[in-house]
Structures are given as C-alpha cells and as structure tokens.
Structure 1
Amino acid sequence: MPNPSQSVPPLTPPRVADHLALELLNTVFVLNGELVDSLQNDKDVLRWLADIGWPVKDNLANSKPDTLLHSARTLREAIRKLVETRKAGKRADVAHFNAFLAESESNLKLLPGKGGTLNLEREWKQRTPEEILAPVAEAAAELLATGDFNLVRHCEDSECVLWFYDRTRSHHRRWCSMATCGNRNKVAAFRQRQQLTR
C-alpha cells in the first residue's frame, strides 16, 4: 500500500470495519478520488485512538515529534501485509509483528461490579508509542490467529481500499458501506441493465 505523502487537514476515517485492527487499515482511504492518510501527526493518532474507544494519556511530551505517528504507520502496514498474506492463504512472516507485540506491557485488574460481582479488565502501560498501540496490535494478533478469514473482506468496489469483518447474519456483505460504495455500484448496475434493454 503506498503511503500518501500529501498533507491534509485532520480527517475522520470511515468507521465501517467492525474490527479494531481493520479500522487501523482503514485510516488510509479514498477521498474525492485521491488516496489519503488520515494519520498525519501524533495528534491524529491520539484522536483516532480516542474515536475508537482507546483514550490515551498523552505521554509523548518527552518523545521526538511524530514517534507515535511512525509507530502507528509501521504497525498499520505490518497488519496490512499480514492480513493480505493470510487472506491469500500464504505463509506469513510474523517476526517483525511479534517484535512489536513484545513491546507491550499489560496487567489484569479486578473492578467491582453490580451486586458484589467482580469484573476483569486488562490495563496497558502507555509510556512508549508501542505500548500506546499495544491494544490495537493485540487485537490484530487475535484476528490473525483466530479470526474467520472468510469474513475478512476487502470492499468489492474497484476504487475502494477499505477492509471489513462481515458480521451480518447472512455473511453476504460486499461493500464497506451500502450508503457509499454499495449505492454507487447498485446505481451503476441499474444503468447498465437499462442500456442493455434499449
């Protein structure tokens, strides 16, 4: 996947993947016919993490600028390569990805629940960019190891680059979104049928 170099104002990537790891892949998307990367700096990565439900304490004050951005893009492309390799049914080289996973540090903690019950939650350290991104990396590892890759799909629109996990009951989802790619393709198919009947 090419890494778009154009600078864009903060963009919100589409939330259509239905899986955390695939949502990271979808931070690169097509907008007005151009491939754009919504992650342009550390703040964009922090904003994206908050949007997907992983709020992060901004512990980057002592880090070089864009270290989180570099780590997020590196993780994204490692996940993309592994997803594409796994989807193609080929053997994947996981050494680089495992090195990323090894950087995470987490622990379990108990939280009081309703009626005297206890809930178990995992808490990640957030001292380095790799630790900040560890929940995403772990979600990707779980997807790669245990996910049903018949349900991991690339949008069927030829100009779309988005991925999704098909959680529909019938498992016949073809488009990243019916409102965009699905509708555009249905209209194009309708027009083509109309031309054939004339």
Structure 2
Amino acid sequence: AKKCFAQGVPLGDVNPLGRAAKPKQAFRTDAKCADGYVVLGGWALPETGGTENAPWFSLKIFPKDAPWLFKEDGSSQWASTSAEFLGTMAALKAFGWLEGGSVGWPLMGLMMQMADVLIDIGGKLRLHWRPREENQEADNLTNEVFDGFDANRRVALRLGDLPLELFLSLQNAYADFDQKRKDFKMVNPVKTRTSKKIKLAEKTAW
C-alpha cells in the first residue's frame, strides 16, 4: 500500500475502506524571494514543545546556484511559487522523508521532479497553504531570524543535496529550446498587422 504524506509526513498505509484520516502536520516551510537571493526555511513540528525542540533549516540560494530562479537583473520575486515548492522538497530532504491547468517554468519542472521522487518512495504528498500570520516561524527562518530555534538542531542542507537530477536535465532542455525560440523570432520577426483604418487611408484614390 502507498504511504500518505501531509506536508511531508507519512501517515501510514492507506485505509482500505477509503476513509480519509485527518492529516497530521509534519513541517512548515516558507520561501523569501529577493533581488540577488532566495531563502528557503522550514521546521519540523516536534511531538512536544515548540521551536526549541524542532529540527530546522534555512537555506540561502544565489543566482550562481540556481539561475533558473532568477531573471537577468537578479530578481527572483517572479518565481515565488517555484521557490515555495522547492522549499517543500528541501523539507522532505532535510527531515528524512526522502530516504528509502497551465503551469509555468520552472514550477512545472519541479512538480515533475517531485512526482518522480514520490513514485520512487511510494508516497503521496498533500500541501496546505497557511496565511503568513499562521506561519510566522517558517517566515522568520527565511528572513534568517533564528530566535527560538536551537542552533544544535539545525539540519545542514545545501541545494546540491536535493534530488534535482530529473529537473536539471529538463532545465537544460528547456534552456536550449528557449534560446532556439528566441533565435527563430529574431530571424523571423512577427509582422504587425495593419489595421483596416490605416489600409483605407493608404489606399490610392481612383
């Protein structure tokens, strides 16, 4: 039977009668997108106590690490949804769960990578959005404010630790396609259609 995940935590085998169990929160994450960097932050909800008993991570990413999250001017705000999804993957990796419509890029590629990972471990992931005021601890981690967290419980995490092999191969193919598309547009510019009003004005009078 497949394992169910609610924000990354296995809930046990699927109920054969199809009765939905109440999801148990495993972790909370957030992502901060700024000019020149992105910060992913998250903490695992402990069985007892608060953040002082929680494993946590705060991962700062620069354009040289993940150019696909940044535009040429260094801005990353446009990729906030992708960054938040990457934060979920970071939490799954940091806290040990990976052992054993129309969507834009790079979010589509990250979703494909996540699906591939979940297939490998036989898992199912449910994500629940929370308002910022209900997710303050994770928001603090993205701002690199670690008050309330035990430094000894910080999980060492690098971007290279995340299982992104499939995504990176797709990213290379996407980048190649995007460049060819731009080159094609330069060689074959789209002709602007002349309005009917202008055509009538330019028409030679007989």
Q: TM-score, normalised by structure 1?
A: 0.25
Structure with more relative contact order (C-alpha pairs < 8 Å, separation 6 or more): 2
Q: TM-score, normalised by structure 2?
A: 0.25
